[in-house]
Structure 1
Amino acid sequence: MIAQHLLAALAVALPVFARPEPDLWFRAISLANDTRVCGLSDEAPFVKAPKANPWAPISPEDVKAVWAFVHAPEQGLNLTNPTNATMTDNYVFWIDTLHTNKSSVLPYIDGTDAAPPKYARVVIFEGGKKEPVSQEYMVGPLPVSDKTTIATYDYVFNGGSGGTVPFNARYYDGKRSAGYEPLLKSLMTEIADITKALFNGTYYGVSDKRTDIVEASTGPNSFDGSTSWVTSMFRYPGPATYMVPLDFYILLDTTGTDVSKYSLRGFVTNTRFFTTAASLRRAFDAGELKNPFPQTRDNSWAVLDHKAEMGVRDLEDRLAPQSLEVGGKRYKLDREQNYVEFMGWSFYMSFTRVLGLQFYDIRFKGERIIYELSLQEAAAQYAGNSPKAANTVHPAAICIFEADSGYPLARHRTGSSKNPNGFSHLSTVKGSALHVRTVATVGNYDYLFDYAFHVDGSMEIEVRASGYLQSSPYYADTDGEFGPRIHEATQGSFHDHVISFKADFDIVTAANSLQRTDLVVVNQSQPWFPELGTFPQMSLQAHNLATETQLNWAPNGQSMFTVVNPTARNRWGTPRGYRLVPGKSPIHLSIADSPFTLHQSHLLKSDLAVTRQHDHEPYANSWQNVNLPAKPQHDFARVFDGEAVDGEDLVVWFNLGMHHYTRAEDVPVTLFSEAVSSIVFAPQNFFDRAQEGDLRNRRVVVSEAATGAISYEDYGIAPPACRVEVQEPAGKILPWVTV
């Protein structure tokens, strides 16, 4: 069971503030004698960022310049163009933006210092060295000039080898796959008659026209970098290939760069392991390899399309409700600086190929709450009795929109009209949030990341998953132990999804504490009820955590965790803070000591962690840890060295995810509606009162019983009178509606 790192989590393909292309096009027209703008097609108003974005990704021009810089002969890297390289060459794997140190940014963003210089992060696969490795470098300052240098990027990794990863543990790119392909082709060709008889499929090599099944490999490919292997499984091809797995696996020893030394570890089928082709053939000839549940080549049952055979729902021919920003957008953008303002909120955005979408300098009404919020890792851990299921895991535009919360922010009715001198008072406040959303398609799953900035000063992070199950062949004797049967020959393998995040809180200042408030039961007596004697009562007991630690949400929600500033107090003398509120499905990995996730995914094994902020500890993990579970490049457990976190610059690390109890309703794909996890950061005495009194989007209705008079206050905020035309891409105009 393996937690495999999400490589290139959110490689953004469009500009950060690209307008999403909808399935339907909306046009709003102001009605006669109404001067208000409907605003459906308006661009977001411009706002100039207070300062240039110091966390911004390096530019395409910088990437090209860095590429030329590292390929220059004087650098001595002996690089081959990746187009022509093999795994025994030195070549650039990727170029990305280097993480900017917080200590360098704060004097600029909060003071008068110059912006810190930008650096590039360069990963080079050095297969041509005597001891081949994967090596990370830092190149800068940028733009490239005579002051630019290259150095190994070591200081953020605590595994003992810095940015160096052994060849056997490096990421399996296409060139490494090409290295073992000849052996795979030879072995599968030798037993083609057996695979043809067992499941009507053969593999003669990836480019051979006779090949009619698809090979897929899984990780990890190593435990500590001393050896390497590949576990390959096979599926029928097609749009839903993940749903038609074949009961046949091949394990290869792929240690080192000399492909002539690669060898067979064995075959697996019918849950039996065969170390040689000869032993597999003997079992086949003896009739021992039966296939009681043959897989179907027709995977149309698992394609996400309209299934007419399922029948018709009444009124389903009508357009579903749409979310429209009628009246114009209420958020402002500086596209060049990736800076946003909305209803008191402000923040910068950035992205990298490793961490995806990142938020920086998140403020509400001018006060910083979070310095950095970023994705750290997305992993899955599977249950199963096949090599693929037992050993796995596995982006993408960004859209910004304001949406109705689906419920009032606040509502209350008081008084009574039955009393002749009474009144009835109803007040309700509109609830909405600005959503920053992105979807990462990684192999068989789509991960939907949604960051919602609510008008009350709270922030919600939500993750949803949809896509094809990484399924397994169905065996009748497992009796649902690893997941249910979901089709004729397919089992939905139970698994965990765990997505980890970093939240570097700076509540007003960087000197913060993580306060734990426990709801405990104490025995007490009350003199006004002497007959009760002593009886249990609820009580709150709070303390600040003293040192770095990992922890879990309390059972029954009987503990509250709040990041507080012990020296900043609200009007009532209470330390100002933000509470961490677990939302839907707060989980962590089910297995803590699996050999496939032994040391490289410690953060995933608890719900929360708090550490002291350091520039040399920007990450919870390394993207290359997947093949180093026994000896990781970066070990999160080593971060916990007893440092104080009370009144210090601290970082909260947290996990979202779900135990995916697979079901027949995962066919054709897992539904976003159920596979969801969330957390809320909510003001906890950060203010003197709820942040709703300055919102004009509200209604107050007062009814006086004596006179029957009704007064109505809308504070001048009324829906604009608009005609909305909904047009399909082909040009058909649907009936208009008045908003």
Structure 2
Amino acid sequence: MHLSAITGLAWASLTLASTLPPLGYERRLLREAFDKRGYNATTPSCLSEAAPTTKAPKTNVWSPISADDNLAVWNLLHDPASGLNLTLPEDAVLTDNYVFWIDTLHTNKSDVLPYLDGDGKIPAKYARAIIFEGGKDVPDSQEYMIGPLPVCAETTIEKLDYMYNGGSGGSVPYNARYFDGPRSTATDPLIASVMSNISDITAALFQGGVYYGARDERTNLSLTSGTPLSFDGTQAFRNIMFRFPGPASYLTPLDFFLLIDCSGTDPSLYSLKGFVTGEKFYPTIAELRTAFEAGALGMEYDQTLDADWALLDYKPELGVRELEDRLAPSTLEIGGKRYKLDKENQYVEYMGWSFYMSFTRTLGIMFYDIKFKGEKVMYELSMQEATAQYGGNQPKAANTVYHDTYYSLGTDMGTLVEGFDCPWGSTFWNISYHSGNSTVINENSLCIFEADMNFPVSRHRTASSNDYGFSNLGTVKGSTLIVRAIATIGNYDYMFDYSFHMDASLEVIVRASGYLQSSFYYPDQGKWGPRIQQATQGSLHDHIITYKGDFDIVGTGNSLQVSELKIVNVSQPWFAELGEFEQMELDASIMTEEQQFNWAPNNQAMYTIINPNATNKWGEPRGYRIVPGRSNIHLSTLNSPWSLKNTEFAKSHLALSRQHDNEPYANSVQNINLPSKPQQDFSKFFDGESTEDEDLVLWFNLGMHHFVRAEDVPVTLYTEAYSSIVFAPQNFFDRAQDGDLLNRRWMEVDADDNLSVETYGVPLATCAMHFDEPTDHLGGVVEL
């Protein structure tokens, strides 16, 4: 049903304040409004209660390490006996050793399967930690594995090298490590010194804009620099762009860039590389000043100081749409929740589906042991990386490539707003991650809900000339279970949806909203994007979201079948007068070796993960088809110096590899600053190994070429920035999996034109939304 039955009086009290109240605030007021107007507790609520519980068949072996384990690991690392010589992060400088973060180390599949599928012992749990080791003779960032957990006498601290193939294991050169607070603080004196010497220039060019240092009260400009910050770890640099500060600073860039060298741990050796403004490069302050005094510097357009136009609030100047003061429709689970949860084990059951969930600070939510009607479909489904690469004729746009796991994407999965980010009545779960010796809880950051698909799963009408126009008609209601999280990484809000359909298909969807990373507008730079504001140009870029699908179709022995649709010339004796004519046919083969590959032109190939040792009733190999959805793309630039070897996973639509415990992730979280010499080189996964009847992993890319537009102001719209893929049963069963669904209608007309309707015992639902007095809207009990 649609939640459209609330009076203006009732809804007026539900308006959000300027500061967002805790989640559930509106819902509580809504319930109170119903209660005061005669809510009948014997009638099911339109805002349905908690989902029924179930018990996971096994303990969730993929679950994150606990808060207690994190604290114990933190204490162990800081114990002098461990020999790591650690400083507390808040006291650290560049030449100290300190913990960057602690997270959960993946559990090896080879250890999980004996437990999951048999009587093997539960696998040991390990933590992983990145430690910045600036105090070493050759400073670096080193990753460690700590376990088994809980911490005990057997717990060890070992270098985490085995899952990286770049040649240096878990070690990353100092110059390529994450650019954190201490590194930023170390570069600020050079930036402040340079900018102070040209404050008269910047004030003249940018409406009084000056930068004297991050903590100087006279500073009224903000700065930003993107990634990568190094090519191979032998050097480090910052290409800094200045902006007007404020909530929409991404949309108010200035045409001024400061380029510095910040290699090593001695800030006294950091140096100026030059300036860029007016599409020209000035290597020194003297050359910049000479151009300024000659009148060669100037802005054709002043950047706006008022950023109200860029805020995502109500804009009355756009006018009023008729009837928009009424609450928009909303999906409600009025029949009650039809999924079951084991919250402790993060385990879900829904209409034949079952799966476990987990979470890491870098990858966000992950899915394991996905089954339909008790049979294996996938061992793991997880997002691996969110890449964005830009283009332009200015330093920030030209050199920017983002890997959002570098910024700990999972930690940015924030609170969801009920009724807007997720439907009313959704199940909300918290997400937690570890920061230092503490654990941070992002409340209500994951939602689970069943949604009306707004089209039937299947339908057919057998036409007839009787009064009804059919002799029989069948239609099956479409619904799906969606697990959703939204990660706000800087300027972008990525919405991740995992949709479990009634027909046993599984859909993965990603959407992007949020602020553009924009550039200063020049009339001759239209090839990189249009003008979108007074002095702002949209920056052309790609979004590529890489996923891992570890398929186990009824077991681990799988193959990838490629069924190519080919056009051939044939002759058939019953069409002798045609001679040869074009015909299409399927040419099925098995992909025999690991490889990266792209969708066939015109989608004239079907890719199916099959189990060659299992057939359905009709003798066909059981499998799941990989169905391209909307905007299945790969990275446009394949040889850019900024993403040369560290972004190989984004350069093809699909990739097939053998499953190996030492290849759990497509990327390293510190790979972004190593485009020439990556810590993890995804292309090395594909070394000619056989993929016939093996444990296979499919890597796939979703995304969008972001052709920016004025309608990206104030933010990009989810309706258009949208990409998806579907995994659908292909002879996995003997017939379609909709025959056992009771939410359907079967209508027959007999020879005497008598109509009968079969409802299969599923009642039309009612739910409580009582009002004592009549209203202009739909009042009382909503009845369908």
Amino acid at match of 1:714: T
Deviation at 1:40, TM superposition (A): 2.7
Give CA-to-partner distance per residue, 1:396-437, whole Å, 9 cap, x none: 2111000011210011110314399x9621110011110000
Q: Distance in 2 between matches of 1:721 and 1:677?
A: 36
Amino acid at match of 2:663: E
**1:278 counterpart SS class:** helix
Q: Distance in 2 between matches of 1:418 and 1:529?
A: 39
Task: Select 1:723's aligned residue among 752, 765, 768.
Answer: 768
Are 1:82 and 2:68 matched, yes or no?
no
Residue 329 and residue 31 in structure 1: after superposition, are their counterparts in 2 closer, same or farther (change >3 A)?
Answer: farther
Task: Select 1:406's aligned residue among 454, 469, 472.
Answer: 454
Aligned partners of 2:38 and 2:770 also within 8 Å: no
For residue 475 of structure 2, what is the aligned residue in structure 1?
428
Aligned partners of 1:560 and 1:580 also within 8 Å: yes
Q: Distance in 2 between matches of 1:523 and 1:23?
A: 66
For residue 640 of structure 2, what is the aligned residue in structure 1?
594
Task: Select 2:519's aligned residue among 472, 486, 490.
Answer: 472
Are 1:570 and 2:577 matched, yes or no?
no
Task: Select 2:72's aligned residue among 59, 65, 68.
Answer: 65
For residue 671 of structure 1, what is the aligned residue in structure 2?
717
Task: Select 1:287's aligned residue among 288, 295, 316.
Answer: 295
Give CA-to-partner distance per residue, 1:558-613, whole Å, 9 cap, x none: 01110000010000000000000010101000010000000001110000000011
For residue 642 of structure 1, what is the aligned residue in structure 2?
688
Amino acid at match of 1:409: V
Residue 212 and residue 725 in structure 1: after superposition, are their counterparts in 2 closer, same or farther (change >3 A)?
Answer: farther
Amino acid at match of 1:681: F
For residue 528 of structure 2, what is the aligned residue in structure 1?
482
TM-score, normalised by the number of residues in structure 1: 0.94
Are 1:52 and 2:100 matched, yes or no?
no
| 1:380-529 correspondence runs (5 A) | 380-394=388-402, 395-396=412-413, 397-418=445-466, 424-478=471-525, 480-529=526-575
For residue 171 of structure 1, what is the aligned residue in structure 2?
178
Amino acid at match of 2:391: A
Task: Select 1:712's aligned residue among 742, 757, 763.
Answer: 757
Deviation at 1:128, TM superposition (A): 1.0
Q: Distance in 2 between matches of 1:490 and 1:175?
A: 32
Aligned partners of 2:63 and 2:359 also within 8 Å: yes
Task: Select 2:164's aligned residue among 157, 163, 184.
Answer: 157
**1:108 counterpart SS class:** helix
Are 1:627 and 2:673 matched, yes or no?
yes
Give CA-to-partner distance per residue, 1:273-314, whole Å, 9 cap, x none: 111011000000001112111111111111111110111111
| 1:125-144 correspondence runs (5 A) | 125-144=132-151
Aligned partners of 1:218 and 1:392 also within 8 Å: yes
For residue 3 of structure 2, what is the aligned residue in structure 1?
none
For residue 437 of structure 2, what is the aligned residue in structure 1?
none
For residue 309 of structure 2, what is the aligned residue in structure 1?
301
Give CA-to-partner distance per residue, 1:369-409, whole Å, 9 cap, x none: 00011111101011101110111144221110000112100
**1:448 counterpart SS class:** strand
Amino acid at match of 1:690: A
Deviation at 1:736, TM superposition (A): 5.1
Q: Distance in 1 between matches of 2:42 and 2:632?
A: 49
Deviation at 1:20, TM superposition (A): 6.1
**1:188 counterpart SS class:** helix
Are 1:107 and 2:107 matched, yes or no?
no
**1:523 counterpart SS class:** strand
Aligned partners of 2:132 and 2:142 also within 8 Å: yes
Aligned partners of 2:142 and 2:159 also within 8 Å: yes
Are 1:247 and 2:255 matched, yes or no?
yes
Unmatched runs of 5 consecutive residues or more in structure 1:
1-18, 727-732
Aligned partners of 1:417 and 1:703 also within 8 Å: no
Aligned partners of 2:46 and 2:769 also within 8 Å: no
TM-score, normalised by the number of residues in structure 2: 0.89
Q: Distance in 1 between matches of 2:467 and 2:567?
A: 42
Q: Distance in 1 between matches of 2:770 and 2:515?
A: 36
Task: Select 2:658's aligned residue among 599, 612, 618.
Answer: 612
Q: Distance in 1 between matches of 2:162 and 2:370?
A: 27
Q: Distance in 1 between matches of 2:638 and 2:301?
A: 34
Q: Distance in 2 between matches of 1:108 and 1:617?
A: 21
Q: Distance in 2 between matches of 1:409 and 1:301?
A: 43
Deviation at 1:39, TM superposition (A): 6.3
For residue 13 of structure 2, what is the aligned residue in structure 1?
none
| 1:664-703 correspondence runs (5 A) | 664-703=710-749
Q: Distance in 1 between matches of 2:659 and 2:247?
A: 45
Q: Percent of aligned pairs with the same residue?
A: 61
Query: Mean Cα displacement is larger for which, 28-37 or 310-319?
Result: 28-37
Deviation at 1:42, TM superposition (A): 1.2
Aligned partners of 1:570 and 1:685 also within 8 Å: yes
Aligned partners of 1:494 and 1:662 also within 8 Å: yes
Aligned partners of 1:585 and 1:677 also within 8 Å: yes
Deviation at 1:692, TM superposition (A): 0.4
**1:40 counterpart SS class:** coil
Task: Select 1:180's aligned residue among 187, 190, 196.
Answer: 187
- Structure 1 residue ranges (4+ consecutive) displaced by more than 4 angstroms after TM superposition: 22-36, 733-737
Unmatched runs of 5 consecutive residues or more in structure 2:
1-21, 403-411, 414-444, 772-776
Aligned partners of 2:46 and 2:332 also within 8 Å: no
Deviation at 1:721, TM superposition (A): 2.1
Amino acid at match of 1:193: D
Deviation at 1:532, TM superposition (A): 1.1
For residue 242 of structure 2, what is the aligned residue in structure 1?
234
Aligned partners of 1:229 and 1:254 also within 8 Å: yes
**1:83 counterpart SS class:** helix
Give CA-to-partner distance per residue, 1:78-109, whole Å, 9 cap, x none: 00011111121100000000010000000001
Aligned partners of 1:95 and 1:121 also within 8 Å: yes
**1:724 counterpart SS class:** coil
Aligned partners of 2:766 and 2:782 also within 8 Å: yes
Deviation at 1:526, TM superposition (A): 2.2
Deviation at 1:129, TM superposition (A): 1.0
For residue 729 of structure 1, what is the aligned residue in structure 2?
none
Are 1:374 and 2:382 matched, yes or no?
yes
Are 1:195 and 2:243 matched, yes or no?
no
Q: Distance in 1 between matches of 2:463 and 2:715?
A: 51
Query: RCO greater where, 1 or 2, for CA within 8 Å and sep 6 or more?
Result: 1
Q: Distance in 2 between matches of 1:290 and 1:275?
A: 18
Are 1:276 and 2:284 matched, yes or no?
yes
**1:596 counterpart SS class:** coil
**2:679 counterpart SS class:** coil
Residue 44 and residue 524 in structure 1: after superposition, are their counterparts in 2 closer, same or farther (change >3 A)?
Answer: same
**2:661 counterpart SS class:** coil
Give CA-to-partner distance per residue, 1:327-381, whole Å, 9 cap, x none: 2100000000000000000000001112111100000000010001111110101
Aligned partners of 1:38 and 1:327 also within 8 Å: no
Aligned partners of 2:563 and 2:605 also within 8 Å: yes
Amino acid at match of 1:722: C
Residue 526 and residue 671 in structure 1: after superposition, are their counterparts in 2 closer, same or farther (change >3 A)?
Answer: same
Q: Distance in 2 between matches of 1:581 and 1:148?
A: 45
Q: Distance in 2 between matches of 1:610 and 1:532?
A: 43
Q: Distance in 1 between matches of 2:89 and 2:400?
A: 28
Aligned partners of 1:468 and 1:668 also within 8 Å: yes
